[in-house]
Structure 1
C-alpha cells in the first residue's frame, strides 16, 4: 500500500478471490489504513444514483478518503455507458494515489463486454495493471465442491422409521 500498488485476483467464481481480498482489507484495517469495499455493480448503482441526486461529488470524496479500495465481482454485470464512465473515473482517480484490489471473473480481453467501450476498457486495464500484482485463481469452485461432497457423502447418522 505504501507504494500504491494494485492487486488483481483473476479467476472463476468460488476460487477464493473475494476471501483473499477481504483478508487483505482486514489486515490493512488492523494496520490503521482506511479501506472501502464495494461489489462493483453496487458501486456503479450508487454512483449513478448520486449523479441523479446531485451528490456525486460527496460520494467521490468519501471514496477518496480511503487508502485501499476493494472492487469485488467485476464482470458479473455489464454496465450502461454512464455507469462504465463513472466507474472509470473512480479507478482513474485512484491511479498512483491509492491501492486497488479487483476480483474479476473475466480475462482482460473480455472486460470490454462489461464496459461496452474498447478504448475505455483499454485505459482502465492500463491503469489497473501498472504497478499491479496479478494472481490467477484456478480450479473448481469451493462452494460447488463443498455442496457436491455433502450430497455424495450422506450424514453419518440416520433415522429409522
Structure 2
C-alpha cells in the first residue's frame, strides 16, 4: 500500500514538471516530503474550515472599508495578524444590522483557519439550542465539545432576544469554560450595559461580563446598512 502511494506521488510530481532523474536521491526525497506536507496541510485546512461551520465565505479583503468610517485599514490589518488570538483576547463587534459585524467576524475566522487555528461559528440562537439539548442529544454533545476545543469561538447575534434564567446560566457556564482558554468574537446590536435587561439576572450578567471584558477590544461600527444600501429591486 505504501509503495503504491509513493508511486502515485512520484507520478504526480512528474506531472508537475519535476525531473526525477536529474536530481539527487536526497533532493528527490525532500521533494516527496515537501509535497506530502503541503498535501496534508491542505487537507487539515479543509477539515478545519468544514468544522468551523461558517454560514458563508467572505474574506477581510472583500470588506468594503470605505463604507465603514469607524474602522481604519490599519486596524483591519492589525486584527488580521491575530496577535490578540495568541493572547486569548476577545473582540466585541457592536453596531446596527448591516454594517459588517458578521463579515468581519467570519473574515477573521477564515484567517485563523488558514494558519492552523480551530474555529467554531454559531449564532446565539443555535448556541442556546445546543446548550439546552446537550444533556440528551448526541449531536449537541459533539457540537459543544467542538466549541470548547476551538481556539476561536464566534457567537453571532448576541442579545438579539431575551434569555430566561436557565439559558443565561447555561451561557455563563460556557463562557466560564472558555475563559482564558479560547478567544471569543461576539457580534451584537446592543452594548454590554444593556445585556442585564435581556438576561434578567444581573448576577449572572456581571459574572459573564467579568470574564468577557477581562481582555477585550470593543469595536463600534456605524453607518447605513450595507444590505439596504445595495438592495436589489424587481423593477
TM-score range relative to shorter protein: 0.7 to 0.9
Other-structure match for 1:38: 122
- State the distance in 2 between where 1:3 and 1:76 align: 28
Shift of 1:5: 0.6
CA shift, 1:122, in A, is 1.4
The question of whether the paired residues in 2 share the 8 Å contact of 1:10 and 1:17 is answered with: yes
Q: Offset of 1:145 from its aligned partner?
A: 1.6
Cα-to-partner distance string for 1:41-95 (whole Å, 9 max, x where unaligned): 11101110113x1657655432211100000000212112111111111111111
Confirm whether residue 69 of structure 1 aligns to residue 133 of structure 2: no
Higher percent of residues as helix:
2
For 1:108 and 1:2, the matched residues in 2 are separated by 24
SS at match of 2:204: helix
The aligned residue for residue 159 of structure 1 is none
Unaligned runs of 5+ in 2: 1-84
Q: Which aligned pairs between 1:102-117 and structure 2 lie closer than 5 A?
A: 102-117=186-201
Question: For the aligned residues, what is the CA RMSD?
Answer: 1.9
- CA-to-aligned-CA distance 1:116-159 (integer Å, 9 cap, x gap): 11111111112111111110011121112222xx56xx97xxxx
Number of positions where the alignment pairs a residue of Structure 1 with one of Structure 2: 150
CA 139–30 in structure 1, closer or farther in 2 if over 3 Å, else same: same
Q: Indicate which of 112, 129, 132 corresponds to 2:216.
A: 132
119-128 vs 65-74, which moves further: 119-128
**Aligned with 1:130: secondary structure?**
coil
Larger % of strand: which? 1
Of 76, 87, 92, which aligns to 1:8? Answer: 92
SS in 2 for 1:74: coil
CA distance in 2, matches of 1:57, 1:46: 8
The answer (yes or no) to whether the contact 2:96–2:189 under 8 Å persists in 1 is: yes
- Displacement of 1:114 in angstroms is 2.3
Contact 1:47 1:59 in 2 (8 A): no
* Contact 1:60–1:90 under 8 Å retained in 2: no
Query: Any unmatched runs of 5+ in structure 1?
Result: 156-161
Bigger Rg over Cα: 2
CA distance in 2, matches of 1:25, 1:59: 17
TM-score of the superposition, structure 1-length normalised? 0.85
